[in-house]
Amino acid sequence: MQGIQDLKQMIKQIELHWGEDLRVDALTPDLAVVGTTWQEQRVEAQGHQVNQGGYFTGVVEQHNSRWQFRDAHWSVAPPAAK
């Protein structure tokens, strides 16, 4: 929980965009795996702008009539080769 509190001091603004390539694959009636590309623009407390993107995957579970993440993984794309 402390890490989340520290993020509030480090990040001034953040904007996350999910890709148009969202996939949801049912594993069971109550479990599914999701995957999509993502792009993020954030402004750090010092004013420095960071743009990142990558691929997100997660396992979701239906619990009490709601879908909740059980696991999530954010991969960051490597910088383009020069």
Give residue-wise pLDDT tens across range 1-54.
Answer: 666 778 778 888 999 999 999 999 999 999 999 999 999 999 998 999 999 999
3-state secondary structure of 64: coil
The third-level CATH classification (topology) of the domain covering 2-76 is Nuclear Transport Factor 2; Chain: A, (3.10.450)
C-alpha distances in angstroms, 40 versus 15, 32, 37? Answer: 6, 24, 10
Domain boundaries, the chain: 2-76
Q: 74 falls in which pLDDT band (50, 70, 90)?
A: very high
